[in-house]
Amino acid sequence: MSNARTARFSRRGLLAAGGALGLGAVLAACGDEDAKSGGSEGAGDAKSGPWSFKDDRGTTVKLDKKPANIVAFTGVAAALYDYGVQVKGVFGPTKTEDGKADVQAGDMDISKVTILGNVWDQFNVEKYATLAPDVLISTMFDDAGTLWYVPETSKDKIAKLAPSVGISVYDRQLTAPLQRMWELAESLGGDMKAAKATEAKKRFEEASERLRKAAKANPGIKVMAASASPELFYVSGTNLSVDLEYFKALGVNFIEPPEKAKAQGGGWFESLSWENVDKYKADLIMMDDRTSAIQPADITEATWKKLPAVKAGQVIPRSAEPILSYDKCAPLVENLAAAIEKAKKVG
């Protein structure tokens, strides 16, 4: 868990989710019956109605027909894009300062989507209304149903314009949200039998087996997941994060900050001053690749440069908010497997 994410949780609390606004929009029915199961309930012909989907809050969204005007958190939109589902609008990190696509935008052509907000707490509700949204989709990083990057101050206005779907990425392994996104994309008309989709899934499964073997063959390699800000260095625990929980289940030997140390980070990470970045002896470091974090090449602190893993060139990127398609997650698993296979014991 990176500094950016948890800092936001601290400012916002651990939120309580939802959304809403009036503006005379026609509301699509959004029931919350059948809340026992978190399974998919994508129903109806993909090309005509009716359409329904039960999200990870246990809420079943029902519409007369498959959603045409989809608005989604950028990372969700990128995952749907990989399955052939195009969204109309996005919110969340989409465009960098130089106008290029943010890492969380994946392969999307960002010139073809309406950007409602590019940073935290930014969401243009008026522009959202003009899109005549059928559904809003986002991930959730808590168990309260909080929709990621939907501002607390305007969530009630946003919710009145269209029903929402939440896919949980909280305290579960990566395979769970990957499957849920697959089910959601399929319900929205994605071609799940296309070679791109089936081959990516197979590649992910093969990469996972490779990582399992690499971890078993190199049990002494200690891996640290971290993120950097100007003031602090953050060391993530494996608990709560979908990627780290999955990698740990495959046998990767992670450095685990004690629970007491992670308390101030909402249970996600421990905050260290730059003078204390050598607290943990890591052989391999995975650094948060989001634009909200300082990237390794831009870290100037001498204490960082003296770390054995840094000196050995054993630092790789980590997608702390992975795009939930097999096409984007397979390389993440492959890169970690390759790094562990080549890593030397330096910590």
Residues 6+ positions from 72 with CB-CB distance below 8 Å: 80, 87, 89, 90, 91, 136, 137, 138
For the stretch 142-193, pLDDT in tens is 999 999 999 999 999 999 999 999 999 999 999 999 999 999 999 999 999 9
Lowest mean pLDDT among 26-30, 74-78, 117-121: 26-30
Kind of pairing between the strands at 70-73 and 89-91: parallel
Assign 120 to helix, strand or coil: coil
Residue 286 CA to residue 300 CA, distance in Å, equals: 17
Structure-block tokens of residue 156: 């009630």
What's the chain's average pLDDT? 89
pLDDT of 337 reads: 98
The answer to whether residue 196 scores a pLDDT higher than 90 is yes
pLDDT of 36 reads: 31
Band the pLDDT of 19: cuts 50, 70, 90. very low
Band the pLDDT of 48: cuts 50, 70, 90. low
pLDDT of 264 reads: 86
The answer to whether residue 35 scores a pLDDT higher than 80 is no
Query: For residues 38 and 255, which has the higher predicted lDDT (pLDDT)?
Result: 255
Are the beta carbons of 65 and 28 closer than 8 angstroms? no
pLDDT of 13 reads: 33
Burial class (CB in 10 A: 0-12, 13-18, 19+), 10: exposed
Query: For residues 46 and 249, which has the higher predicted lDDT (pLDDT)?
Result: 249
Residue 85 CA to residue 148 CA, distance in Å, equals: 20
Q: What is the mean pLDDT of residues 238-260?
A: 97
Identify whether 50 is preceded by a cis peptide bond (ω within 30 of 0): yes
For the stretch 283-305, pLDDT in tens is 999 999 999 999 999 999 999 99
Structure-block tokens of residue 312: 């050995």
Band the pLDDT of 20: cuts 50, 70, 90. very low
Q: Any bridge partners for residue 253, and if so which? A: 222
The whole-angstrom distance between residue 254's C-alpha and the CA centroid of its chain comes to 20
Lowest mean pLDDT among 16-30, 68-82, 224-238: 16-30
Going 267 to 269 to 249 to 59, the CA torsion angle's sign is positive
Lowest mean pLDDT among 114-118, 125-129, 219-223, 265-269: 265-269
